[in-house]
Structure 1
Amino acid sequence: GGLMACPMSLQTLLEGWRDELPPTVAECVITGLSLDSRRVGGGEAFVAVQGARAHGTAFAQQAVQRGAVAVIHDGLGELADLGVPDVAVPELGRRLSSLGARFFHNPSEQLTVAGVTGTNGKTSTAHFIAQAWQRSSGDAGLIGTIGWGAMEALNPANMTTPDPIALQRMLSDCIDQGVEKVAMEVSSHALDQGRCDDVAFDAAVFTNLSRDHLDYHGTMEAYAAAKRRLFIDCHPRFAVVNQDDALGKDLIATIRNGTEVLSYGTNGSSELRGAVLAMDSGGMTLRLASPWGEGEVRSGLLGAFNLSNLLAAAGTLALLGLSWNRVMQEIELMHPVPGRMRCLGGERSQPVVVIDYAHTPDALRQALTALRAHLHGRLVCVFGCGGDRDAGKRPMMAAVAEELADQVVLTNDNPRNEDPAVIIADLLEGMARPERALVVEDRATAIRQAIHASREGDIVLWDSDLIKALRFQAGWSQTQLAEELGVRQQTVSEWETGVYQPSRHMCKFLMLIAEQAGFVYGVDKHT
């Protein structure tokens, strides 16, 4: 962790947002801020606003018991007598980002920040940017689904974009850890809720828009409006926008007020263009043309869609100061994000197993199409859909799997409060020939059966979430697993929380499962 944030009086923190504060309140000094009553530390202020299920004031008592010395609220919740100063701030809900920025002294202004938004490609693009910064200057940070903090010591993440106060705290911690540049994933939810309002973005990147999170947003228009908040309301210095995408074209036409736009894509009119010249099981050869120069480059990544992510990262890196020669070198060095299109096996007459994280019909189509281009043989797809989420995409996912894979294996993927049988029925509904699908409710068994049924030259695609479930289903403790793998237990727990680890651990983990299924694996191509 970083240094303690400097203590601040409520008077200084709330300057201009409140009339005269009573002296006892004004002089109250706090050492931190938190929206989460379970994470409040001694000496900190608890910030209470309307949450998804209850008003934060319902948890104020708990926060005070944990050591909160003040409660800042919006005046709309029921508040019992707490024995510590409380202060109502009008419209606090939309000022959370400003509140965090004030307390932590505007950390984003001391950093180079690149924000990446879009349905698919956010995680990979942000990770590519951070990887390159880390290799070239050793001072990169990341905030996103993989983790947050300095690249060399990521902390596990629990959501894509943290709450507005936690986000400012993370940026501040990054500075304390010696980070100078941060790549950040920015979800639509976060933009919608104003979680990034007070982040000074040097570059804003838009990857694409497809059906996703519609259970949250309801309509594509709302989704598009959320994206505009990043490109227009946040006034980034640079915007890097995918011109192959309809919303991207629209954004390019609407971005104004001093933001310099760089368009990228595969069509001739983009300022940064790329084309795939050749693909094989070891990666692809690309041709790039940009305002800074052009050339051919070799990438070890799989899938033509990664060309788009690489272009987005390359444009951002070049605009933010990396020389074009260096950018070309970095493209060659990019390795995949943990859990994204990882290639295992394929040696000694084994099938190739590819692990991916495809949660939308588009992403699944992309993954399966990419694999078709790289490999020859049967393509087996193992997947399920989570419960309590946009059910409309289930039949669409199954239809894509049926169309592009030779064998579809349906299984459970985190049913939450739903009946797993209903989810599988929704999936089968999307298939023209549901009788050809293999339904195996237990995830571990599903993967074993898929591997069993495959031969040399075949590919098995499954979702990285499935892997997380396997440790629990196989019933191994972290300690057992660590011993089996010959790694520290911390490695196993980091690996499970999705923190970046070299893929050989992943590989050994899979070998164990595979051996239980009576199978032996080849080596991971990426190590």
Structure 2
Amino acid sequence: MNIFSGIEYRVLKNIDLEREYCGIEYDSRKIKENFIFIALEGANVDGHNYIDVAVKNGATCIIVSKEVELKHNVSYILIENLRQKLGYIASNFFGWPQKKLTIVGVTGTNGKTSSTYMIEKLLGNKKITRIGTIEYKIDDEVIEAVNTTPESLDLIKIFDRSLKKGIDCVIMEVSSHSLELGRVETLDFDYAMFTNLTQDHLDYHQNMENYFLAKRKLFLKLKDKNNSVINIDDNYGQRLHKEFLENSENILSYGINNGDLHGEFLENDSVKIKFKEKEFVAKYKLLGDFNLYNTLGAMGIVLKMGEKMEDIIKRLEILRPAPGRFETVDCGQDYKVIVDYAHTPDALENVIKVAKNIKNRGNVITIFGCGGDRDRTKRPLMANIAEKNSDIVILTEDNPRTENPEQIFNDVKKGFIDIERHIFEPEREEAIKKAISIAKKNDIILITGKGHETYHIKGLIKYHFDDKEIARREIVRRKMKEKN
């Protein structure tokens, strides 16, 4: 195998580069006998500092991005811009498995995860690989997700394992970071979906234009632009649609107000779908416009993939929320508790509005916080939205990371008009306890920000924390207390 094919490199030390290597890793802890170690430089960790560990664990070839001391009896290769080239090295090593797969990419600010789950369900019983924020799923094998879109080497490994399991279709969330950092550099996509673009990640992209241009890169990587599915109710979706429609007449647009494929809610848990001048009515259990948007986009993708509309309509009834997406915690209490991943202004507004539209509801109690070391400009926006749309607001922590929690809270509080009427409880567990203790019959508690996540990050420490677990425990405790 020539893992350096098509890549500029310099041999610093050649012991036996022609040998057959047994594996390739950028984590020195995963290195085994006769492996290649990629010494990646990250924001917090420099792989060059772990060369000794890699060699001790069995590495026989070290790939670096800068000059290092050649003190071990192994091969050393220098490749500039190593992270950008990692996908090519991995693809060469594993024989370019991505070229043998059908790859569906979903991008946008909100709705990526739900859309990938829906696409999987609407494809019926096909064996698929699904990659995203919650998990990496290879048929029935589930791997913990580290990033929404994995590092390029990990992606190629997933593709290789997919082929070995007889899978020929991958559905994946494609983040703006992955498009900018080159994680999907070696991929050509067969189908692509754009959900929406609202404020997020401006700590990285600086402004919305850069953020949009990053998302747009997915559609430049399409084999056939006609296999684009775009939310035309979104302003950035309209821009994307207009640009690519000029040369690709069969792009599929979707929306609630506009689009080739559009739908509306009916009474009695059903929806009406319109496509190509035909109308279809289906049973539908999900709530909220955001779910309908994601469903329409997913329908557009599977239609492009060749599924029949009649089969898709039948499958709408089985759609359920993805984990942590407007997910109910039900222990038989007379008030609702809903956990949602909403951590952007738009997503927060959407979930609160859905809660407000639930029939026979009492007060809407919203628990929210803002992550540390992330976009500071969205914090007051989220406070304003929570205040404007909720009856009771509880401000708390949400992964402060290395940022001073006081600074985060101060940024958030700038968005409140009447700060005195809100509850401020820094400890997230105590905030959940507080909400459950004050909830009355028919109230709705929205616990937002974490959704599926089962951890909390303070400083550099990541420890177990699950909103659903804590909510369930506190609901049961309250019931037992009331019973006694």
Same fold (TM over 0.5): yes
Q: Does 1:438 align with 2:444?
A: no
For 1:253, which of 235, 242, 246 is the aligned residue? 242
SS at match of 1:313: helix
Provide, for residues 301-332 of structure 1, a one-character-per-residue CA deviation record: whole Å limited to 9, x for no partner: 12111110001111101111211111112222
Change (3 A) 1:20 1:157: closer
1:28-48 CA-partner distances (Å, limit 9, x unpaired)? 321222223333333221123
Where structure 1 has 5 or more consecutive residues not aligned to the other structure, the ranges are 1-7, 473-492, 499-505, 522-527
**Counterpart position of 2:230:** 241
**Which residue of structure 2 lines up, in the alignment, with residue 147 of structure 1?**
135
Please state how far the C-alpha of 1:468 moved relative to its aligned partner.
6.0
Residues 359-374 of structure 1: matches in 2 within 5 Å? Answer: 359-374=343-358
Match of 1:44 among 23, 27, 35: 35
1:124 is matched with 114
Q: Distance in 2 between matches of 1:89 and 1:507?
A: 46
- State which of 434, 442, 457 in structure 2 corresponds to 1:457: 442
Residue 273 (str. 1) matches residue 262 (str. 2): yes
Whole-Å separation in 2 of the counterparts to 1:453 and 1:497? 22
Could you tell me which residue of structure 2 aligns to residue 427 of structure 1?
A: 412
Q: How does 1:82-121 map to 2 (within 5 A)?
A: 82-121=72-111
- SS in structure 1 opposite 2:271? strand
Measured after TM superposition, the shift of residue 443 of structure 1 is 1.9
Q: 1:198 offset after TM fit, Å? A: 1.3
Aligned match for 2:154, one of 156, 161, 166: 166
Query: Which residue in the other structure is 1:483 paired with?
Result: none
What residue ranges of structure 2 are gaps of 5+ in the alignment? 458-462
Matched residues in 2 for 1:466 and 1:277: separation? 28
Cα distance, 1:391 vs structure 2: 1.8
**Structure 1's 43 and 430: CA in aligned 2 closer, same or farther, altered over 3 A?**
same
Aligned residue for 1:302, secondary structure, equals coil
Matches of 1:31 and 1:286, distance apart in 2: 53
In 1, distance between residues paired with 2:69 and 2:121? Answer: 47
2:475 to 514, 517, 520: 514
Stretch of structure 1 that moved more, 300-309 or 231-240: 231-240
Cα deviation code 1:71-95 (max 9, x no counterpart):
1233x34344222111223554432
The answer to whether the 8 A contact 1:124-1:337 is kept is yes
TM superposition shift of 1:116? 0.6
What TM-score does the superposition give when structure 1 sets the normalisation length? 0.83
Classify 1:469/1:410 alpha carbon distance in 2 versus 1 (closer, same or farther; 3 Å): farther
Mark the CA change 1:520 to 1:45 in structure 2 (over 3 Å): closer, same or farther: farther
Check 1:427–1:25 CA distance in 2 against 1; reply closer, same or farther (3 A cut): same
1:403 to 2:388 alignment: yes
Out of 188, 198, 206, the residue aligned to residue 200 of structure 1 is 188
Q: Is the 8 A contact 2:384 2:415 kept in 1?
A: yes
Q: Equivalent residue for 1:28?
A: 19
TM-superposed deviation, 1:250: 1.4
Q: Find the counterpart in structure 2 of residue 288 from structure 1.
A: 273
- Equivalent positions of 1:487-526 (< 5 A) are 510-518=471-479
Distance 2:151 2:383 in 1: 34
Q: Secondary structure at the match of 2:324?
A: coil
When structure 1 is superposed on structure 2, of 106-115 and 31-40 the one drifting more is 31-40
How has the CA–CA distance of structure 1 residues 252 and 85 changed in structure 2, closer, same or farther, with 3 Å as cutoff?
same
How far 1:121 sits from its partner (Å)? 0.4
Aligned to 1:67: 58
Alpha-carbon offset, residue 410 of structure 1: 1.2
SS in 2 for 1:426: helix
> What is the aligned length?
474
User: SS of the residue aligned with 1:30?
Assistant: coil
Structure 2 CA distance, aligned partners of 1:451 and 1:431?
23
Give 1:343's aligned residue.
328
- Equivalent-residue separation in structure 1 for 2:392 and 2:35 (angstroms): 55
Does residue 210 of the first structure (1) align with residue 198 of the second (2)? yes
Cα shift at 1:246: 1.5
CA contact (8 A) 1:200 1:236 kept: no
**1:449-494 superposed Cα distances (whole Å, 9 cap, x missing partner):** 212211122100002638867999xxxxxxxxxxxxxxxxxxxx9x
Amino acid at match of 1:38: R
Offset at 1:102?
A: 1.9
Deviates more, 1:111-120 or 1:41-50: 41-50
Q: What SS is found at the alignment partner of 1:201?
A: coil
Matched, 1:224 2:212: yes
Partners of 2:263 and 2:443 in 1: CA distance: 29
Q: CA deviation at 1:55?
A: 4.6
Paired residue type of 1:106: W
Structure 1 residues 214 and 278 mapped into 2: Cα distance closer, same or farther (>3 Å)?
farther
Match of residue 460 from structure 2: none
1:322 to 289, 301, 307: 307
Matched AA of 2:214: A
Task: Work out whether residues 17 and 90 of structure 1, in 8 Å CA contact, stay in contact via their aligned partners in 2.
Answer: no
Aligned-partner Cα distance in 1 for 2:67–2:318: 52
Task: Using the TM superposition, name which of 52-61 and 164-173 deviates more.
Answer: 52-61
CA deviations on 1:224-247 (whole Å, 9 max, x unpaired) are: 111121101343561111111111
RMSD: 2.9
What does residue 290 of structure 2 align with? 305
Distance 1:103 1:129, change over 3 A: same
- For residues 266-286 of structure 1, the C-alpha deviation after alignment (integer angstroms, 9 at most, x for no partner) is 234x1111122348xxxx422
> Normalising by structure 2, what TM-score?
0.90
CA distance in 2, matches of 1:257, 1:467: 40
